[in-house]
Amino acid sequence: MRELFPLLANDPELVYLDSAATSQKPDCVIERMDRYYRRENANVHRGVYQLSEDATRAFEEGRQTIARSLGAEAHEVIFTRGTTEAINLVAQCAGQVVLKPGDEIVLTVAEHHSNIVPWQMAAERFGAKVQFIPLREDLRLDLEAAKRLITSRTKIVALAHISNVLGIQHPITEILAMAKAVGALTLIDGAQGIVHEDVNVKELGCDFYAFSGHKVFGPTGIGVLYGRAELLEKMPPYQGGGDMIERVSLSGSTWNVLPSKFEAGTPNIVGGIGLGEAFRFREGLDMKQLRTEDQRLGRELLAALKEFPHVKVFVDPGPDWVGIVTFAHSKIHPHDLAAVCDNEKICIRAGHHCAQPLMEILGVSATARVSPFVYNTSQDIQKFVRALHKAEQLFC
């Protein structure tokens, strides 16, 4: 599998264990994007010449591939710059439709900043209040607390599919049912979920599902917001400009049909094409087998970390865990550990992982995170453990 990813194939010594931040890109995605720029480069939707029509076809085929994978209609797939922009779009546009003073937005304390800050901004703008579902001692969501927090005042419930810090899949089916019972809109931050799960948005029953392309074999700067068509029709546009309009006059404007209504300006054409190719690559993988392998590698690391008395791991593995290992060393700052690993050609994550409220709950300012993926092996885990031993020799 490693041979399919040029960056790794070209450097056999490199160990990449930071896929929760961004995945490596397979040859097929890189080649498809290169082919667009070499043979198909033209603006989309506007030209009546063949080259533009070819570019438009390739771009829209990418959207159709993603929609098919999600179990959605193509016009329900909005291209964004990533998860962050997708959540901001919903917070501002759906918020304008459903939020009024005194309403409540329910999140969890384990969210990425991208699923906290936009809702805080929307709450301030529309006079709403943000509530947070806490965690139990085992760092799983407290469903009893969720039942108390999701009430008739709740208008929007937004939570991650899988925590980017803990690697735990939240009980979204139960949370979605609670939200639906009170008539609240629901958004799932699928930045990690789309990486580890086959996602069918219709079966899931969420109103919105957001993810970034770069975490799931695709390019940076492109992402997806799935939204139920009837909701997207009711929402005002996010930005104004070309392609999102039906007609413009000096007295006012009318909006284009979905998905163009939410895609102002020239889109990230090569990004959409590349992400479509990434999903075609993803369709060739057995996602259950991939998750099982990630869990196996994660458990190998957890077993090895038991040999380090100064290491504190923050979650116990279970069937709801995808193999991400986050830990703190009482004698070594995560940034120092990451620097030692870098010297050994090992890439890991160090910091607060854009989840500072969760770090406060864990009682640390930063952690180290190892996130194995499809191109990693047991040898990669062993090499990391040796680097951790070396770090202890230097700092302890």
61: amino acid identity, one letter: E
- Sign of the Cα torsion 257, 76, 67, 20 reads positive
Residue 347 designated active-site: no
d(Cα 227, Cα 21) in Å, to the nearest integer? Answer: 24
Say what angle helices 50-70 and 269-283 make with each other, to 10 degrees: 40
- Which tokens go with 318? 């279970």
From the list 206, 341, 354, 396, the catalytic residue is 354
d(Cα 368, Cα 18) in Å, to the nearest integer? Answer: 10
DSSP reduced 3-state for 249: strand
DSSP reduced 3-state for 373: coil
d(Cα 379, Cα 16) in Å, to the nearest integer? Answer: 12
Please tell me the number of Cα atoms within 13 Å of 383 on its side-chain side.
Answer: 21
Residues with Cβ within 8 Å of residue 231, at least 6 apart in sequence: 94, 185, 207, 208
Exposed/middle/buried for residue 334 (C-beta within 10 Å: 0-12, 13-18, 19+) = buried
Catalytic residues: 354
